[in-house]
Structure 1
Amino acid sequence: MKNSIKLLMISLLLVITSCEEMVEVDMPNNQLGTEQVFADAQTAYAALSGPYSDLRTQSLLSGNNFGTGALLGSYADELDCYFNDLNGYEAIASNTQLPTNSVIQTIWNNTYRQIYAANAIIAGAENAVALSQPDRDQVIGEALTIRSLLYFNLQQLFGDIPYTRSTDYEYNRSLGKTVSAAVLSNLEADLNQAIGLLSDAYRDPERIYPNRQVAAVVLLKVYLSQQRYSEAEQVALQILQSPNYQFQPDISQVFNAAGSHILWQIKPQYSGDSTQEASFYYFDNAPPSAYALSEGLIAAFEPGDLRRDLWVAEVTVGGQQYYRPFKYKSLSGSNTTEYSVVFRLEEVYLLLAETLAMQNRISDALPYLNATRLRAGLPALEPTSQTALLDVILQEKRCEFFTEQGIRFTDLKRNGRLSQLSVVKPNWEPYNRVWPYPQNELLLNPNLAPQNENY
């Protein structure tokens, strides 16, 4: 069985490298072709495991230095960076990134590689006559959801980006940019297709693969970015009405993998392994080597907020006080209850509160705002104006979702409030709302020009 899986992974890598070339050359004796990979459900789902592994270890969804949780947490105001600037992370944290930044190049390359893998799987499944219709729909629906979320993150980071559904290398290598509005429109179509293909049932009870409602969460974010608040409200309500999900009333169980409030999570590679977040952010008896929580974030917690007590660890080194994220508590060798959460119900609650606030429906928004506050031991709020309501929603999300999926940055960006960062980020400039395109990509593909403003 292990040898079969290895062969499947080799075949998927070949598909990713060049789908077109695979049908033009003789098939090596020890490798499987596209038709064989998608010949039945077992091999098709095994092919999908390659992209899922990549998402766990080196993607924008990862809980380590590749992920938006760390990168955008430091780019905004959640994390202080302690990396050596030779690797480019400190430049991102200080908002002084340049087109030559190696981290930005890596993020670009990794994400487009993962998008290409998703395209290859979609193309293979669409042409797989041996797959049953339900399995074909599931494989395509999952790949579409993954691809859409990756594209959405790239659009948030870079603005206008190349968008492609093709696996043709020659075509893709010379693609120009698609304007942000068109990217979001394409994602709306892709996600509606995924929603139509997927069901509410999870392929695995541990919720480690997307279902229909996961695709709906991404669509909700797309609608909010398009300022289509009525459509966003309907999507959010549909998610909340699903019997799969229940609000978690116990704050100590928010990051328990068995929770019915979790929509999608990423499982550690081996049994007993910690989550990426637990190991990446950990430091004790020594200064942080990567990131620590910012003083500004710590000051944002109200007195009595249980999240400050349970989700933040204090570390004193040489008389200096540091704070590290402590949402995930189990280190490797002892973890039996924690997976890395991608989406949880609380985000849907607060996104719905935002959509209602944008429609000036203040009283309708309050239950969704106050659910997480009450769980954190804080009193309910009753803001009386739209501006005040949006203020407290952003503040609540800051304390609820720090270091999770770059939520703080995208919230500020979507609401036109990135200028707030200039108070605590001395290098912040309005053009920092997007990153520069990697210089190497501009050299390889002139159609990617022009560079983003002021880079």
Structure 2
Amino acid sequence: MKKIINYMNIAGMLFLTGILLSCEKMIDAEIPANQIASETVFENVQTADAALAGLYASLWNNSPISGDKAALMLSLYTDDLDFYATSSTNGMNEVYRNQLIPSNPIVYGQWASAYQIIYSCNAVIEGCEHSVLLSAQDKMRISGEALLIRSLLLFYLQQMFGDIPYPVTTNYLTNQSIAKTPSAEVLERLESDLNKVVPMLSDQYRNAERIYLNKKSAQILLAKVCMTRQKWAEAESHLKLIIQSPLYLVQNDLTKTFKKTSTNIIWQLKPFNTNDAVKEVIAYYFDFIPPYNYALSTSLMNSFSASDLRKQRWTIPVTVAGNTWYRAAKYKNLTGNTDEYSVVFRIEEAYLLLAESLTMQNKTAEALPYLNAVRQRAGLGAVASPISQQTLLNEILSENRKEFFTETGHRFFDLKRMNQLQQLTATKPNWKPEHQLWPIPERELLLNPNLKPQNNGY
């Protein structure tokens, strides 16, 4: 059995290596010689699943949802983190100070890593479509997971960059000159793709650790897309299906929220190597001064009441020479990790999204129980009815911040969806309206002029 698993891992990684190399060389005329033919990879379910496993490994290793990538950068970009360095050669200082330029290496890294995996998703989808040996059921499942991964990454790119390419093929001649799709159309296409995905996947996980995407993962992303499009009733419908599922329960013990066996988890990423710490614990840990000179922001810490259990359980003060910083401590295991994976979706998000979608339909009384379920398990009192629509929306946004700080870019997405990015002007002196989008990477514009014009303000 061990030899079979090793073979699957090797086959999957070789397949993806070939695909990623071909992405990097899209302007070349020849297909790289080390790319495994798709008909070989997709001749049986074991090697096809290995290719799919390679996609998950790439998500963990280097993608916008990796714990030390967009989550960290968007926390700096908004107001979850304060940055104490006066200069930085890796671009982080410019991210924090909202002074991005198209040549910033972090901007390019977010874009390039996402599109490399998107092209690999397309390769898996095409491999399933062309396979004559895979069963219809296996084709549907594997294609569904690959399409869901592609949709998740495109959603991140749309939120960060606005108008973006929407590649659906591995044809390098097409991809090397692809134009941008308008942002509104990207969301429309994402909703269409996700509606296709939902019936392709099962509610039941194919691994008890919830490390593979399922139907409910597709439904929560679909709800987020619908809410971005202001389709509140549709989002409500998708979210209620998640909350009503017997698979998930709000985790009332905050010390277990990020433990891999918790039933609040909808989907999580498994570390590449056994006993590895999750990327989040490494990114945010320090015990003397803030690593890379950042720590939880003063404004975030001031948003917590003293009785909020999340402040007590998920943040740790570090005092040196009379100065105190706070670090995120949602994950605990620096070494010998056996019980933590990186959580991407959890049921508490569905609760707050549902509260928001109901409030936007002026169903405030119906929304309150979902908000209060999250608040009360943090040791806070219930928000009482009657309450105005705008006051309740403010409460939901505040709750999102305290619940999801430093997680998967939440703060940026929540502020943007709720049209509240201007709040950042209180703590970010360089914030301007055009900063709702990042610049298109300079390298990409030079390679493909069809990506012009550059985003406004850059």
Please report the TM-score for the alignment, with normalisation by the length of structure 1. 0.95
Instruction: Please state how far the C-alpha of 1:8 moved relative to its aligned partner.
Output: 3.9
Instruction: Please state how far the C-alpha of 1:57 moved relative to its aligned partner.
Output: 1.6
Secondary structure of the structure 1 residue equivalent to 2:324: strand
Q: Select the residue among 175, 178, 194 that pairs with 2:178.
A: 175
Instruction: Please state how far the C-alpha of 1:27 moved relative to its aligned partner.
Output: 11
- State whether residues 61 and 272 of structure 2, in contact with CA within 8 Å, keep that contact through their aligned partners in structure 1: no
Q: Select the residue among 360, 375, 386 that pairs with 1:358.
A: 360
- State whether residues 83 and 293 of structure 2, in contact with CA within 8 Å, keep that contact through their aligned partners in structure 1: yes
Matched, 1:80 2:73: no
Cα deviation digits, residues 390-432 of structure 1 (max 9, x gap): 0000001110000011111111111111111001100000100
1:4 and 1:359 mapped to 2: Cα distance? 48
Instruction: Please state how far the C-alpha of 1:39 moved relative to its aligned partner.
Output: 1.0
Q: Select the residue among 397, 402, 422 that pairs with 1:399.
A: 402
1:123 and 1:359 mapped to 2: Cα distance? 40
Structure 1 residues 26 and 70: CA distance shift in structure 2, 3 A: closer
Matched, 1:331 2:344: no
Residues 56-67 of structure 1: pairs in structure 2 closer than 5 A: 56-64=60-68, 66=69
1:110 and 1:237 mapped to 2: Cα distance? 33
Matched, 1:417 2:430: no
2:115 maps to 112
Secondary structure of the structure 2 residue equivalent to 1:297: helix
1:440 maps to 443
Q: Which amino acid aligns with 2:37?
A: G
2:170 and 2:104 mapped to 1: Cα distance? 27
- State whether residues 313 and 324 of structure 1, in contact with CA within 8 Å, keep that contact through their aligned partners in structure 2: yes
Cα deviation digits, residues 198-239 of structure 1 (max 9, x gap): 111111110001001101111000000000001010000111
Q: Which amino acid aligns with 1:13?
A: T
Structure 1 residues 304 and 56: CA distance shift in structure 2, 3 A: same
1:43 maps to 47
Cα deviation digits, residues 222-261 of structure 1 (max 9, x gap): 0000000010100001111222112222222111110111
2:78 and 2:15 mapped to 1: Cα distance? 40
1:142 and 1:8 mapped to 2: Cα distance? 15
- State whether residues 18 and 35 of structure 2, in contact with CA within 8 Å, keep that contact through their aligned partners in structure 1: no
- State whether residues 375 and 382 of structure 2, in contact with CA within 8 Å, keep that contact through their aligned partners in structure 1: yes
Q: Which amino acid aligns with 1:225?
A: T
CA RMSD in angstroms, aligned pairs only? 2.0
Structure 1 residues 26 and 94: CA distance shift in structure 2, 3 A: closer
- State whether residues 94 and 427 of structure 1, in contact with CA within 8 Å, keep that contact through their aligned partners in structure 2: yes
Matched, 1:258 2:261: yes
**How many residues are aligned here?**
449
2:447 and 2:362 mapped to 1: Cα distance? 48
Instruction: Please state how far the C-alpha of 1:18 moved relative to its aligned partner.
Output: 4.2
Matched, 1:276 2:293: no
Cα deviation digits, residues 295-325 of structure 1 (max 9, x gap): 0000000120000000001111232211100
Matched, 1:316 2:304: no
Q: Which amino acid aligns with 1:371?
A: A
Stretch moving more, 225-234 or 236-245:
236-245
Q: Select the residue among 9, 18, 21 that pairs with 1:5.
A: 9
Stretch moving more, 169-178 or 423-432:
169-178
- State whether residues 18 and 36 of structure 2, in contact with CA within 8 Å, keep that contact through their aligned partners in structure 1: no
1:368 maps to 370
Structure 1 residues 350 and 451: CA distance shift in structure 2, 3 A: same
Q: Which amino acid aligns with 1:135?
A: D
1:242 maps to 245
Instruction: Please state how far the C-alpha of 1:173 moved relative to its aligned partner.
Output: 1.2
Secondary structure of the structure 2 residue equivalent to 1:86: coil
- State whether residues 276 and 335 of structure 2, in contact with CA within 8 Å, keep that contact through their aligned partners in structure 1: yes
1:33 maps to 37
Instruction: Please state how far the C-alpha of 1:268 moved relative to its aligned partner.
Output: 1.3
Q: Which amino acid aligns with 1:242?
A: S
Matched, 1:379 2:381: yes
Q: Select the residue among 17, 39, 59 that pairs with 1:55.
A: 59
Secondary structure of the structure 1 residue equivalent to 2:330: coil
Structure 1 residues 427 and 27: CA distance shift in structure 2, 3 A: closer
Secondary structure of the structure 1 residue equivalent to 2:419: coil
- State whether residues 309 and 378 of structure 2, in contact with CA within 8 Å, keep that contact through their aligned partners in structure 1: yes
2:104 maps to 101
- State whether residues 287 and 317 of structure 1, in contact with CA within 8 Å, keep that contact through their aligned partners in structure 2: no
Instruction: Please state how far the C-alpha of 1:32 moved relative to its aligned partner.
Output: 4.2
- State whether residues 79 and 294 of structure 1, in contact with CA within 8 Å, keep that contact through their aligned partners in structure 2: yes
- State whether residues 402 and 408 of structure 1, in contact with CA within 8 Å, keep that contact through their aligned partners in structure 2: yes
Secondary structure of the structure 1 residue equivalent to 2:310: helix
Structure 1 spans left out of the alignment, 5+ residues: none
2:428 and 2:101 mapped to 1: Cα distance? 17
1:387 and 1:81 mapped to 2: Cα distance? 32
1:3 and 1:267 mapped to 2: Cα distance? 19
Q: Which amino acid aligns with 1:52?
A: Y
Matched, 1:306 2:305: no
- State whether residues 15 and 34 of structure 1, in contact with CA within 8 Å, keep that contact through their aligned partners in structure 2: no
Structure 1 residues 101 and 353: CA distance shift in structure 2, 3 A: same
Q: Select the residue among 221, 226, 239 that pairs with 1:223.
A: 226
Secondary structure of the structure 2 residue equivalent to 1:87: coil
Q: Select the residue among 204, 212, 218 that pairs with 2:207.
A: 204
